[in-house]
Every structure is written in structure tokens, then in C-alpha cells.
Amino acid sequence: MPKVPAPPLPKALKPAPRRPGDEDGPAITPAEAGITVVDWIDERTSLSGGLRWLLYRKVPRGINWFYTLGSATLFAFLSQAVTGVFLAMYYRPDPTGGAYESIRYITDDAFLGQFVRGMHKWGASVMIILIFLHMGRVFFFGAYKYPRELTWVIGVTLLILTLVMGFTGYLLPFDQRSYWATIVGVNINGTGPFIGPYLSDFLRAGPEFGANTLSRFYAIHMLLVPAAIIALIGAHLYLVTKLGISAPPWIHPEVEPDSVAEYELERTEV
Amino acid sequence: MPDRRKLFRSKYTLDRNMPGAFEGETVTRRRFMDVSANAAGAIAAAAFTLPALGFAIGPIFSRLPWSWQAVGPASDFTELVYVVKVVTIVEGIGEAGKSIAYMRKRNPAIDTEPADQYNEFVALSSRCMHLGCPVRYVQAAQRFICPCHGGVYDFRGQVAGGPPVRPLDRFYTRLNEATGLVEVGPRYSVNTQLRRFSPRDPGEPLDGIGQYLYPARFSTAKL
């Protein structure tokens, strides 16, 4: 495997040449100390090769702002993950009133609570919008074609899981709107023939919306689906890095004029 | 002892070029080790996966307890006007577990379904049969109207318009002779002819092929 050349060190990290008569200076400068620490980790993990593989890769000519929609979706997910973890510190999945009260506490009383909850609530919509824009970019640029079909399939699974996050998260404030929206959503699930009724029972943890429905939705929302999303994002990014980014459809491979003429000649002769 | 090993080459493993096999051996030791190590791993994984999975899907199979709730004396109900009664569907979760039954006395002039001990009083569930929103009764129009998607039901709870797929669900009712109070029991579903079925979720039609597409669940049963 050809070795990727190491990027040049930034100026601040370059060790200054030692001046004559400067032997009394510090044995090691802060920059050298930093390099030593990084080297110590790299010697044991070989992470730098992987990082260079991930970050310093060739991209085709003609890429543009549309190619940033995937990273934008990733950062929307990271924002949801971080704000969600901190909302979970205050939230109580208690259907007898505790859930609504804890959301009221976050919104009205907790320091920056309204802001963090707002980030999570509006960020959810932003993530859905970005994921569809990203999907549209991939579709209209033809980037789902060979050899990137598996990346597309994983991406569609991520889209479905994100919609599951939206569905399960909607119940958690436990006000009238989220309660009835969940009733309607679960009943839409139930209209699937043969397995629909059992799927509804699974989602509700019983034949009626009961004591365990809220905690079940909470567990799916903050443990089950996020873990699956993180794993699939890893697979998605691995494939993107391994297969490279596709060029926009209007960029054509450069062909030597002579070879085109030769090809035309060959074709007319036959 | 390479020479000795050569002597005992098994014809079963000769083509696989595996040393150490003995005559008559059909499963090599390496293959046996592979299989047993994988089997041990699979058993260990199943030991925590299967109980956890069963724990998660268990509620599908556990039956909801039935109860009879007293809602008032028989004199509360007339044949022409619906009375609103609050019934508890799920215990222990407060307001979220309560629902409304629209109740009246059975009127033989319009209630054509066969009479028995459980429908001397008609108790309609307020759950819309489109997707489960709560319907309200409008006395002037004598119609039940759903606020979500425009479902309309007539006085007997049969679909008069909109998207609902079957008439409003009903509750079993009985008159407790000892106390003189009307009691409301479990919910049941009906098809267009008001035939009784075990309770189904909204959105599941029970006419024709519907009763087979949406089978009864383990968690509920007809009385």
C-alpha cells in the first residue's frame, strides 16, 4: 500500500533551530512536548495512518457546496446526541404527570433549559430536512450507482431510523398533542395486515396505551435507535472514504485527443 | 515424528492436506474445535439475547385484566339521550388511562342487534375507528364527530361518513342486581352488522376479508 505523505507541520509546531550559545534553554519546548505525546499515542495505536486515510483523501474535480449536505446531517445528529444526553439528565418518563412536569421544569426553570430543549426540538426538524436534501443530492447526481449501492442502502436505513427517532421522541413531552399523535401513529402501524395488530401491541407494551408505553418509547428513543444510528453512520462513512466521492454528472473524464481520434478511426474501419 | 505421522494419513482428510488426522476420522480436530467454539459463542449470545427479546415482546402475549366498573344507577340512562361516563381503561397512570363511554338505554325500536344480558345498556367507546382520536357527540345532529380527520357516526355508532372503517367500539354492560348500579365491562369491536368481535385497534375493518387480515390478539379476548 503506498504511504500517504505526512502533511507539513504548521509553523507554530515547527521546532525553532537552536541558537549558538543557547544550551541553557529548556530541555523540551511545549511544542516538542505535544509532539512527544502524540507520538507516544501513535506508536501504540497507529491512529495517524487511519486519520490521514480519512481526512487527506483525493476528491474529484467539480465538487461543490451540495457535497457538504452529508456532513451537515452528521453534525445535526451530533447536536441531537449532545443535547439529548443533557435533556435526559432532567427528563422523567412518568406517565402520571412526571413527564409533563419535568419538561415544564426544563422549559421554564432549568438554566438554559429552554435553549437546549429548543435546539433538540428544532434540530430534529433540521436533521430531517438535511437528510432529505442529502438524499436528493445523491439521487440527482447519480452517486448511488455502482460501486456505491451499499452506501445508499445504509443511508436509506439511516433515514428510516431517523424517522423512528422523530416518532418516538414526539411522545416524550407527554402533552395532548404528543399523546394523540402517538395514538394515531401506533394505529397507523396497526393497519398493516396480519402483523399490524401485534406490532401495535409491541409498541404500546399491551393492548392499550398503558404505564409502560412511555418508558418503552423513551428506551427506543435514547438507547436502541441511537446505537443503531451510530453503528450505521460508521459503516456509511467507512464506505464513503473507501470508495471515494463521485464526481458531479457534468464532469467527464479527460481523454487524450489522439486516443479519441484513434478510436473513431478504428470504429469506421470496422 | 514426521515419518510416523505420514504412515497414518487418513484417506478422508488426504485431499485437505491436514496433518495429524488418524485413520477413520471424518471430522478433523480443527473442524471440531471450530464448530464447538462457534456453538459455545452462539449459546452464550442466545443466553442473553433470547430472554431480553422475550422480555421486550412479552406484553403481546399477556392478557389485560377485565374489570367491571360501576358508572351509576339505571335511572341515569334514557333511550334517547347519550350520557357521558368516564371509564378507566388502564389502571395506575391517572388521566392518561381514562376514556369516555357514551351510554344510553337499549331501544328495541332502533337497536336491531340481538338482545342479551350484556347490552341492556348501550355503551359506545369514544375512540374513533379511523385512527383512534376521541369523538364527541353532537346532540343537535345526533351524530358522533371526530375532530382529527372528519369521521362521522350516526346515533347507533355506525359510520355515516368520513374515513372510519367500522362502527364505534362498544363496552359490555350489565345491571348489578345487588347494588342496582349499571356496570361497564371490557371493550369489544363490531362489524357493520354490529356482530361482536374481540377488541381490535382502530383502522382495522372487520367486514369480509378484514376479520382475517386483522386477527384477534393474544392480549385481548371476547367475553
Residue B130, domain CATH: 2.102.10.10
3-state secondary structure of B72: strand
Please answer yes or no on whether A96 and B131 come within 8 Å at the CB atom.
no
pTM attached to this predicted model: 0.84
pLDDT digits (tens, 9 = 90+) for A248-264: 999 887 766 666 677 77
Please answer yes or no on whether B96 and A206 come within 8 Å at the CB atom.
no
For residues A228 and A161, the answer to whether their CB atoms sit within 8 Å is: yes
ipTM metric? 0.83
A173 contact partners, CB below 8 Å, separation of at least 6: A99, A100, A103
For residues A77 and A127, the answer to whether their CB atoms sit within 8 Å is: yes
Q: Give start and end residues of each alpha helix (H) in chain A.
A: 30-45, 47-55, 69-88, 98-108, 113-140, 149-171, 176-190, 196-204, 213-219, 225-243, 257-269
Q: Tell whether B221 is covered by a domain.
A: no
Average pLDDT, integer, range B107-116: 91
Q: Which domains does chain A have, with CATH numbers?
A: 65-243 (1.20.810.10)
The DSSP call for residue B6 is: H
pLDDT at A1: 57
pLDDT digits (tens, 9 = 90+) for A147-168: 999 999 999 999 999 999 999 9
Whole-angstrom Cα distance, residue A204 to residue A216?
A: 8
Please answer yes or no on whether A211 and B132 come within 8 Å at the CB atom.
no
Question: How many A-B residue pairs are in contact by the CB < 8 A criterion?
Answer: 90
Which of B91, B93, B130, B222 to probe by mutation at the A interface, max A CB count within 10 Å? Answer: B93
* One domain, residues B77 and B180: yes
* One domain, residues B73 and B174: yes
The span from the first CA to the last CA of chain B, in angstroms, equals 79
The DSSP call for residue B134 is: B
Question: How many angstroms away from the CA of B56 is the closest CA of chain A?
Answer: 8
* One domain, residues B40 and B73: no
What would the grid cell of residue B9 be?
494419513
Dihedral, A162, A168, A169, A175 alpha carbons, nearest 10: 150
Indicate if the pLDDT at residue A81 is higher than 70: yes
Chain B residue whose CA is closest to A211: B93
Indicate if the pLDDT at residue A128 is higher than 90: yes
Chain A residue whose CA is closest to B221: A207
Indicate if the pLDDT at residue A2 is higher than 80: no
Q: Tell whether B167 is covered by a domain.
A: yes
Measured in degrees and rounded to the nearest 5, phi and psi for residue B46 equal -65, -30
* One domain, residues B29 and B83: no
Whole-angstrom Cα distance, residue A124 to residue A113?
A: 16
pLDDT at B88: 92
For residues B135 and B144, the answer to whether their CB atoms sit within 8 Å is: yes
pLDDT at B59: 87
- pLDDT bin (cut points 50, 70, 90) of residue A23 is low
For residue A111, the one-letter residue type is: F
For residue A242, the one-letter residue type is: K
Average pLDDT, integer, range A190-211: 91
pLDDT at B210: 92
For residues A248 and A64, the answer to whether their CB atoms sit within 8 Å is: yes
Residue that terminates a domain, selected from B35, B60, B85: B60
* One domain, residues B16 and B97: no
Q: How many CA atoms lie within 13 A of A225 on its CB side?
A: 24
Indicate if the pLDDT at residue A203 is higher than 90: yes
Q: Please report the beta strands in B60-193, taking only residues with DSSP state E, as ranges in sequence order.
A: 69-73, 83-88, 98-105, 121-125, 136-138, 143-145, 152-153, 159-161, 170-176, 181-190
Question: Which of A174, A188, A207 comes nearest B131 by C-beta?
Answer: A188
pLDDT at B14: 65
Distances (CA, A) of A84 to A87, A91, A158, A269: 5, 10, 18, 68
Please answer yes or no on whether A187 and B213 come within 8 Å at the CB atom.
no
* One domain, residues B109 and B46: no
Question: How many angstroms away from the CA of B221 is the closest CA of chain A?
Answer: 11
Distances (CA, A) of A139 to A57, A125, A250, B130: 23, 21, 14, 36
pLDDT at B18: 62
For residues B65 and B174, the answer to whether their CB atoms sit within 8 Å is: no
* Domain total in chain B: 2
| B57 at interface of A, judged by CB pairs closer than 8 A | yes
Domain holding B52, by residue range, is 2-60
Average pLDDT, integer, range B96-114: 92
3-state secondary structure of A207: coil
What would the grid cell of residue A221 be?
428513543
Q: Tell whether B220 is covered by a domain.
A: no
pLDDT digits (tens, 9 = 90+) for B144-157: 999 999 999 999 99
Please answer yes or no on whether A210 and B97 come within 8 Å at the CB atom.
yes
What would the grid cell of residue B51 be?
430472554
* One domain, residues B39 and B100: no
Residue that terminates a domain, selected from B42, B60, B78: B60
| B62 at interface of A, judged by CB pairs closer than 8 A | yes
* One domain, residues B116 and B207: yes
**Alpha carbon of residue B57 to chain centroid:** 12
Whole-angstrom Cα distance, residue A71 to residue A78?
A: 10
Whole-angstrom Cα distance, residue B165 to residue B145?
A: 14
Average pLDDT, integer, range B91-104: 90
Indicate if the pLDDT at residue B1 is higher than 60: no
Please answer yes or no on whether A197 and B217 come within 8 Å at the CB atom.
yes
Q: Tell whether B187 is covered by a domain.
A: yes
Q: Tell whether B16 is covered by a domain.
A: yes
Element counts in chain B: helices (H) and strands (E):
3, 11
Q: Is pLDDT larger for residue B30 or for residue A218?
A: A218
Q: Tell whether B223 is covered by a domain.
A: no
* One domain, residues B93 and B133: yes
Q: What is the mean pLDDT of chain B?
A: 88
pLDDT at A24: 63
**Of A42-46, A208-212, B178-182, where does mean pLDDT reach its minimum?**
A208-212
Q: Tell whether B218 is covered by a domain.
A: no
What would the grid cell of residue A73 be?
446531517
Indicate if the pLDDT at residue A25 is higher than 90: no
